[in-house]
Structure 1
Amino acid sequence: MLYLTGDTHGDYRRFERKEIRHLKQGDVLVVCGDFGFVWEGGKKEEKLLQKIGKRKYHTLFVPGANENYDLLRQYPEVEYAGGRARQISGNLYQLLTGETYRLGEKTLLAFGGGEALDCDIVDRTLYEDQLPKKEELDAVLARLEGQRVDCVVSYEPPYSIAAFLDLEAKPDGYYGLYLDQVQKRLQLGQWFFGKYHLDKRVTPRFMAVYEKAVPLR
């Protein structure tokens, strides 16, 4: 079974919640941004990552706005579930933007990166490392037309969904507007995003996730 949850921010107590403790071998837990366990490096952090990687289920994540991207890029890219990913430790992987994965009977499309809620609109250059490059995104968009996916996971929601929630949506940010184009091109099952620290179904297809582990039916 595939489960979706939101920002963990390096807090291991999230893995001790009841709905996550019951996960078994063959299950997959996907964190929709701000994973936060790859942050400072060092032996203490490495031991914690190994602890997560040794769990019997697989833990996957897309990065959010609050990550150490320099450290993440040091991990090797590998083939995983039909796409490319970074293996962090054992059963722990970072999903890469624009990659599609086959997880059991479900297909999953990943979009990492995003802007912090307190980002200054005037000085977006501070956050460039947290956002996928436009050239990279355009290449992904070109091959998505008509593609069927059961699930999209992201940190940012499409702009139309953020604006619907009225949660500091920024119409001058290209990433949210880009994700609007993605949803129009896909034959979409469901879309999960973690940015807003909410457990809330916004529409039948779009859901904000945070502390709960929501199964993909």
Structure 2
Amino acid sequence: MARVFITGDTHCPSDIHKLNSEFFPQGKTLTKDDIVIICGDAGFVWDGSKNDKWWIDWISNKPWTTVYCDGNHEGHDLLNAYPVINFHGAKAHKITDSLFHILRGEILEINNKKYFFFGGGFSHDIEYRKEFVSWWQNELPVQSEINNAVNNLNKVNNKVDFIITHDVPTQINATLGYNHQDMSKYDNKYVNLASFLQNIYETVTFSKWFAGHYHINQMVDRIQILYQYIAEVKNDNFEFLDTPIYKISNLHFTFDEVKNIAKKHFLFINEFLQLGRATLNGRAVINFSDFLKQYEDTLSLEEKNLLSDNLKNFLLADMKRFGYVTKIVKDIENKK
């Protein structure tokens, strides 16, 4: 039986580190029959550059097979030029023998479980992007893709096991503070994706729904939004892998632990109580030990808790920056 794993945006190469062997050691035991699903913003196909090719080769040489729905940050025109094949019952763009993009509205079948895919997403940063270079209107669906989804769902009586999307329904958008999707920037042929996903949310029976896009690892209503966590499908449910990223994200450091770690590893602190190395940004960056001498007795409980969160943020950013489990994290893991 194939093993199936699901994770959030990889923004290749910015967040691909979570799938290297240090952060995903389980990957070393997998075969090409096993599947890793990315919930959009994979970023392997962007501009057709040598960088694209390098990362496509990198992921394709992993022991497993990678599939993904598209997000908003993809090179949509290039992606749509790949040949369409049948992959586990779904139409997919074949990028390599080990990398597939599942078309919108398709239903993939693995281990007798049905996975409904619908990619695309609203860009929340359009004002910083250039059309046909870093933004494409076809990040949103057209009616034919909506029809494809409806027809395929009708064939299975509107019942699937899992739903894989990048963006989320209107209801979840609102919960996350995105109350309005501005369609004025899109041609009339494009459809409001959030509204369509809301319809899916209300009419389709499913066990679990996974999405990406929002750079959080959080269950919102009935949708599990993923970013750096990796989930393994277990029958009709899932379990998070106990990866270094997952472990650090779920730690709470006491103030004494923050002090010991920061002093031992010569960390610095700025005026926002952010922690980091000597290159930390800020107008008032000083060594943490010097900071304690001046301000330890004045810190409130709220500020001490903020230091705990900021230490976690630093450790996660540090691992992302270097692409491996850092010495500080290894030291913490050995003591926990």
What TM-score do you get using the length of structure 1 for normalisation? 0.88
Mapping 1:39-188, distance limit 5 Å:
39-119=46-126, 127-145=136-154, 146-166=157-177, 168-170=178-180, 174-188=192-206
1:20, CA displacement in angstroms? 2.7
* Length, aligned pairs only: 211
1:60, CA displacement in angstroms? 0.7
- Superposed CA deviations along residues 167-189 of structure 1, whole A, max 9, x for unmatched, are x2325652101111112221111
Mapping 1:24-35, distance limit 5 Å:
24-25=30-31, 26-35=33-42
Tell me the residue number matched to 1:16: 20
> Using the alignment, how far apart are the partners of 1:37 and 1:43 within structure 2?
11
Q: Once the two structures are aligned, what percentage of the paired residues are identical?
A: 27
Tell me the residue number matched to 1:215: 232
Higher relative contact order (CA 8 A, sep 6+): 1
Instruction: Pick from 207, 212, 215 the counterpart of residue 189 of structure 1.
Output: 207
Which has the larger share of strand?
Answer: 1
Q: What's the secondary structure of 2:160's corresponding residue? A: strand
> Using the alignment, how far apart are the partners of 1:83 and 1:130 within structure 2?
20
1:43, CA displacement in angstroms? 3.8
> Using the alignment, how far apart are the partners of 1:41 and 1:20 within structure 2?
27
1:127, CA displacement in angstroms? 4.7
- Superposed CA deviations along residues 148-205 of structure 1, whole A, max 9, x for unmatched, are 2111111111111121232x232565210111111222111111110100101113x3
Q: What's the secondary structure of 2:196's corresponding residue? A: helix
Structure 1: state its 5+ residue gaps: none
> Using the alignment, how far apart are the partners of 1:185 and 1:129 within structure 2?
25
**Segments ≥4 residues shifted beyond 4 Å:** none
1:10, CA displacement in angstroms? 0.7
Kept in 2: contact 1:54–1:90 (CA 8 A): no
Question: Letter of the aligned partner of 2:20 in structure 1?
Answer: E
Question: Letter of the aligned partner of 2:9 in structure 1?
Answer: D
> Using the alignment, how far apart are the partners of 1:21 and 1:177 within structure 2?
38
2:45 counterpart of 1:38: yes
1:81, CA displacement in angstroms? 0.2
> Using the alignment, how far apart are the partners of 1:112 and 1:209 within structure 2?
15
Which has the larger share of helix?
Answer: 2
Structure 1 pair 180/90, CA: closer, same or farther in 2 (3 Å)? Answer: same
Structure 2: state its 5+ residue gaps: 184-191, 235-336
Question: Letter of the aligned partner of 2:224 in structure 1?
Answer: M
1:48, CA displacement in angstroms? 2.5
What TM-score do you get using the length of structure 2 for normalisation? 0.58
Question: Letter of the aligned partner of 1:86 in structure 2?
Answer: H
Question: Letter of the aligned partner of 1:199 in structure 2?
Answer: N
